[in-house]
A and B are shown apart, each in its own frame.
Chain A
Amino acid sequence: MNSLPSRVFETAVNELAKLPGIGRKTALRMALHLLKSRKEDAEAFGMAIIRMHNDIRYCRECGNISDDELCSICGSPKRDKSIVCVVEDIRDVIAIENTGQFNGVYHVLGGIISPMEGIGPDELNIEGLIEKVNSGSLTEIILALPTTIEGDTTNFYIYKKLHSSAIPVTMIARGISIGDELEHTDEVTLGRSIVNRTPYESIIQKKNQ
């Protein structure tokens, strides 16, 4: 499979094989499919990817993807801007939005602290969160990071940074299972866990008992 009859074709296969979850065999099938499809369709496909990169912006308030300077959530007059839910990435925003249980706004960190992968607080959008809190317009911060040890540690870092501001910090109530990702939790459970969030302080106290 190493030598394909066309270099151009091979380049397309190689690019497709870089996508998450796509092996070389699948990439080959996809490339053949695109090659056989109508020229307009293939161009629309290519353009969609190019436009995504050229035109998508990141919301200046929350870091969510957006077509404008403000995303549709931050721009909506119906959302409560004083409640901010802190999430790891955009997938979590989509998951929580699907529950229909949250009426505040988000703050997308763009990752979690993991020295092993070279991700420290400076690589994440934590400074922006602190600025928001310091502006004094917030009433609650909800932490909705993964329940892994790295998620835990990031929660703790944020909590320590915000401690002096006296803003209430809560955490969404999830089961004790380790490594739950928000996008894999079903909507009803996730919705319930947002409604039943608990003060962060009581969670660390419980852990240290």
Chain B
Amino acid sequence: MFLHKLLLSDFKNYEQASLVFSDKINCFTGNNGVGKTNLLDAIHYLSFCKSFFNPADTQNIRHGQDFFAINGSFQRNGDSNELVQCIQKRNQRKRFLLNKKEYDRLADHIGNFPLVMISPYDRDLISEGSEIRRKYIDSVISQFDKQYLDDLIQYNKVLVQRNALLKTFAERDFFDSAQLEIWDEQMIRLGKLLFAKRTRFLEAFIPIFQHYYTFISGGQEKVDVQYNSHLCSSEMEILIRENRSRDRSAQFSTVGIHKDDLEFTLDGFQVKKFGSQGQQKSFVVAIKLAQFDYTRNIKGYKPILLLDDVFDKLDDVRVQQLISLVSQHNFGQVFITDTSEDRIRRIFDTMDIDHKFFSLPLKD
């Protein structure tokens, strides 16, 4: 599956644009602010029904205009054309159409045109708090497992209710274990299901990630992702029971999968504290490439890969490694942005791979 043609109307800084792509590598080059990333974001829309950057859809309408439209013509297996359209008018809901037929629910579209985006924001996976890492694995698992998403939503509701109950106990100075137990049971049931799925996902995911890290870095260092969960060391039932009085004095639930985290290490040391900028970059790129692999294995075909400004902070050797990697046959269509056209051209000159350059700003 690949994006053959993209048509934009009044999307971000583009009044009108029409681009025809290679089914392998496509490079958008130009200075900052010319709209390289906006092209990637348009492609992101076609896959996820939303911007990678700005959740307020109407703010992506070109200044002073009434609507934006993104049209993408995809090809699958060579012959069939699939037309995806996204239309956003001011003060109206966003419309999504496949072959001119509108979707009832956007959720029905997501997953049909899989895509993985690698961007400078991936750094947050290392630098920010645990919530972003939980959200990340949740989003990857949810793409293939709708039941997981349902269970997660339920778990979070139970958590809110249980915390409210603990607060009520404290405020009204009473305790009724029967009232707590009913929420405990739900939390145990759902927590176990989610923990098992996170564990199974990471078991498959981590070896793929390590493989990619070694490839990109070309180095000898050993990277690892450790899944830290209270449930790794004890059964949920026991945890809940043993922490009951602690929960009561804290007035919230202190144990459970809502406290899970991933620890990233490099030769046993925390990447966040001890990894160089280049190592950190390689780390998150390897995570995203592993996500690509995982998605492809489940879907049975290659997602589209977007590399936004990924070569910044990487030396030429690593850039070359990365490009030769995504040029291989297990990757499909790739979109790359870079400020330096010379560098990219120099690298591609030495390689025998189908590619297309788009120098921005586009000329009519």
Contact = CB atoms under 8 A, between A and B. Distances in A.
Interface of A: 113-116, 118, 120-121, 149-150, 152-153, 156-157, 160-161, 178, 207-208
Given A115-B162, A120-B176, A120-B179, 15 more contacts: A113-B182, A114-B161, A115-B168, A116-B164, A149-B161, A149-B186, A150-B157, A152-B186, A153-B158, A153-B161, A153-B183, A156-B182, A156-B185, A160-B178, A178-B154
A207 B186 CA distance: 10
18 contacts: A115-B161, A115-B167, A116-B161, A118-B168, A121-B179, A149-B157, A149-B161, A150-B157, A152-B186, A153-B158, A153-B182, A156-B186, A157-B179, A157-B182, A160-B178, A160-B182, A178-B150, A178-B154
Contacts of B181: 160
Contacts of B154: 149, 178
A121 B176 CA distance: 10
Contacts of A150: 157, 161
- Dominant SS among interface residues on chain B: helix
Nearest to A154: B182
Nearest to A161: B178
A149 B183 CA distance: 10
Interface of B: 150, 154, 157-158, 160-162, 164-165, 167-168, 176, 178-179, 181-183, 185-186, 189
Contacts of A118: 168
A-B pairs with the 3 shortest C-beta distances? A115-B165, A115-B164, A116-B164
Contact of B186 (A120, A153, A160, A161): A153
Contacts of B161: 114-116, 149-150, 153
A115 B180 CA distance: 10
Question: Which of A114, A115, A157, A160 is the most central at the interface, judged by chain B CB atoms within 10 Å of its CB?
Answer: A115
A116 B164 CA distance: 5
Contacts of A207: 189
Contacts of A149: 154, 157-158, 161, 186
A129 to B, nearest CB: 15
A157 B165 CA distance: 14
Contacts of B162: 115
A152 B154 CA distance: 11
Given A115-B165, A149-B161, A157 B186 contact: no
Contacts of A120: 165, 168, 176, 179
Nearest to B186: A153
A157 B178 contact: yes
A118 B161 CA distance: 10
Contacts of B157: 149-150
A208 B158 CA distance: 16
Question: Which of A113, A121, A153, A161 is the most central at the interface, judged by chain B CB atoms within 10 Å of its CB?
Answer: A153
A153 B183 CA distance: 7
A161 B178 CA distance: 9
Contacts of A115: 161-162, 164-165, 167-168, 179, 183
A73 B182 CA distance: 32
A121 B154 CA distance: 21
Contacts of A156: 182, 185-186
A195 B45 CA distance: 47
Contacts of B150: 178
B181 to A, nearest CB: 8
A115 B158 CA distance: 10
Contacts of B160: 116
Contacts of A161: 178
A109 B185 CA distance: 22
B204 to A, nearest CB: 23
A120 B167 CA distance: 13
B160 to A, nearest CB: 6
Nearest to A153: B182
B9 to A, nearest CB: 35
Contacts of B165: 115, 120
A150 to B, nearest CB: 7
Contacts of A160: 178, 181-182
A94 to B, nearest CB: 27
A13 B158 CA distance: 39
Contacts of B167: 115
Nearest to B181: A160
A178 B151 CA distance: 11
A101 to B, nearest CB: 29
Contacts of B179: 113, 115, 120-121, 157
A118 B189 CA distance: 24
B107 to A, nearest CB: 14
Contacts of A153: 158, 161, 182-183, 186
B236 to A, nearest CB: 12
Contacts of B164: 115-116
Nearest to B167: A115
Contacts of B176: 120
B6 to A, nearest CB: 37
A48 to B, nearest CB: 38
A92 to B, nearest CB: 21
A116 B161 CA distance: 6
